[in-house]
Amino acid sequence: MDRNIESETGGAGHVTRKAVLRAALAAGLTAPAVLMGVPALARTLTGSEEAPALTPTCDDGDDPTPPQMEGPYFKPNSPRRTSLVDASTPGTRLTVSGYVFGLACRPVAGALLDFWQADVNGAYDNTGFRFRGHQFTDASGAFRLSTIVPGLYPGRTRHIHVKVQAPGRPVLTTQLYFPGEPRNNTDSLFDPRLLMTVRDAGGAKEAAFDFVLNVPQDPGPSPTPTPTPTGTPGGTWAAGATYRPGDSVTYGGRGYACLQAHTAQAGWEPPNAPALWRLL
């Protein structure tokens, strides 16, 4: 199932655990605190950016991230590292970051991620370990990979291979894709559910993707619906306004600083959205 940013909020105001948890982790809050929290999006798109299809939202038993074939170029025993490049590596720099979740949308700490990809010319290193490396998620289930945008080779669109494994669980083998690639329409393996969210960052690219593993978890508390307040508490915060990190507002006689870029909505008032606003 393809899910965009809007559908992660459930359309009618329901916010999934995954969206809430991602927002809190991005804001530096702990998982227990956010699971008792309120709606917020971890990766709100602004301006003219469009939301591509995402991995399925984990929402109490929804589908895990879909697998894909390993292909002929996997090699075991890759070095442990979070960067596959150095100062002399040719190609457009790419940072891929995200989280690994289980079926109940709780982060999976210590999950193994083993990445491999083609170089800028579309070639794989089958004798050494260029553009190959593994790492483990941190305590919040987060990972971060520094690499380049892989080159193209005949028959395939642009992609990155990855194996993901929670401790003591089966391995998920899959591939990550780039939005807007012409060959996405002709590659028989391409799956829109595996599209990363990609944006320009100067002369580089930044990509985001969250994996949902088939790992049973206790569901924990659901996000608590926040009633839309009646009346006007006063202050400068306004629904429909666009806020950026560092912006300041007042609400209910108190001051707040914005933590993440977002467009304000009813129910996301500063005292109700600690993942978006910090009390001054």
Cα–Cα distance measured from residue 67 to residue 195, given in angstroms and rounded to the nearest whole number = 13
Cα–Cα distance measured from residue 61 to residue 188, given in angstroms and rounded to the nearest whole number = 28
Residue 148: band (very low, low, confident or very high) from pLDDT cuts 50, 70, 90:
very high
Cα–Cα distance measured from residue 119 to residue 29, given in angstroms and rounded to the nearest whole number = 37
CA 109 to chain centre: 15
CA 222 to chain centre: 20
Residues 6 or more apart whose Cβ sits within 8 Å of residue 212: 18, 55, 56, 57, 58, 62, 63, 64, 65, 101, 102, 103
- Give, for 93, the enclosing helix (H) or strand (E): strand 93-101
145: phi then psi, degrees, rounded to nearest 5: -125, 130
The pLDDT, as a whole number, for residue 253 is 87
Cα–Cα distance measured from residue 259 to residue 278, given in angstroms and rounded to the nearest whole number = 7
Tally the residues of the chain. Answer: 280
**258 has a pLDDT exceeding 70:** yes
Q: Which domains does the chain have, with CATH numbers?
A: 47-212 (2.60.130.10), 242-279 (2.10.10.20)
**44 has a pLDDT exceeding 60:** no
pLDDT tens for residues 185-221? 999 999 999 999 999 999 999 999 999 999 998 875 5
Using left for φ > 0, alpha for ψ between -120 and 50, and beta otherwise, residue 273 falls in beta
Q: Are strands 197-201 and 142-148 parallel, antiparallel or unpaired?
A: unpaired
- Strand-pairing partners, residue 221, are none
Residue type, 195: L
